[in-house]
Amino acid sequence: MLERSAKLSAIPGLKHGFTDRHGGASTGRYASLNLGLKWGDDPEVVAENLRRVAEAGGYPPQTLRRVNQVHRGDVLRAVALTDLSEADGLWCTREDRVTVAVSTADCVPILIADVSGTVAAAVHSGWRSTVAGIAGAAVDSLGVDPATLVAAIGPCIELARFEVGPEVAAQFDAAFVDTTSYAKPHIDLVGVVRKQLRDAGVPAENIERVGACTHTHEDRYFSYRRDGAGTGQMMSFVGFA
């Protein structure tokens, strides 16, 4: 059900996790731990799945904060959200007593916290949000010395499966675009996000990769690229509730 970062697990009082697709109540194409309503799963079943994740994650379900994700570079404080808020990253402080989360089904989830356990952020870095520099924006939003931050990059699509058109590839540093091994360009989103975190001041040794390629491991993860609309969504959460 949950995959965790060793580095984030070492921070006192911090709750976090990256879900996989196991341990839920959903059936069919959503089997089994679907945590999104975007593509038509039964709301009551999704609510049960969220309850199970909260129980496994150690946070009260009512403290969970999510936001409408729009594939941009905005990062908002969770306690300031309204029903109309749109963002691809949320942050909180220990005093906020909330759990922030983002949904993914191939995009890159990033969980960030400082080693003292005073601030944390959850980030959805799809290719558009990555181009917008959302990883760096999340680091800046936390307002602490970035050298004190730990970041975990969760399950997402990897280079071998992330085929794009030339118009998308042109928006990335050529160092992270493979134009020779495949018929079309492929992008290393994990590599780009790592660099963005380092450029924002997070030490390389404080950046951890958790999980594997969502597209490759059908038995383990949901993947929009592999299965199309109507698949499930995973969730990545972090906080102090």
Our measurement of the distance from residue 96's CA atom to the centroid of its chain's CA atoms, rounded to an integer in Å, reads 20
Alpha helices in the chain (DSSP H): 6-9, 43-57, 127-131, 134-142, 166-169, 189-199, 224-227
Our measurement of the distance from residue 223's CA atom to the centroid of its chain's CA atoms, rounded to an integer in Å, reads 13
Query: Which residue from 90, 215, 43, 236 is spatially nearest to 152, judged by alpha carbons?
Result: 236
Model pLDDT for residues 116-144, shown as the tens digit of each residue: 999 999 999 999 999 999 999 999 999 99
Query: Backbone phi, then psi, for 27, in 5-degree steps?
Result: -125, 175
Distance CA 176, CA 13 (A): 36
Specify the pLDDT at position 37.
94
CB atoms within 10 A of CB 50: 21
Specify the pLDDT at position 162.
98
Tokens 């959200």 -> residue: 81
Specify the pLDDT at position 111.
99
CATH number of 2-158+207-239: 3.60.140.10
Q: Which residues of the chain fall below pLDDT 70? A: none
Query: Which residue from 1, 3, 12, 6 is spatially nearest to 151, judged by alpha carbons?
Result: 6
Q: At 182, list the tokens.
A: 């495949």
CB atoms within 10 A of CB 183: 6
**Angstrom distances, CA of residue 166 to CA of 117, 136, 174, 182, 225:** 42, 25, 11, 13, 18
CB neighbour burial string for 190-208, b if at least 16 within 10 angstroms, e if fewer: bbbbbbbbbebebeeebbe
Specify the pLDDT at position 114.
98
Whether pTM > 0.95 for this model: the answer is yes
Specify the pLDDT at position 10.
98
SS3 60: coil
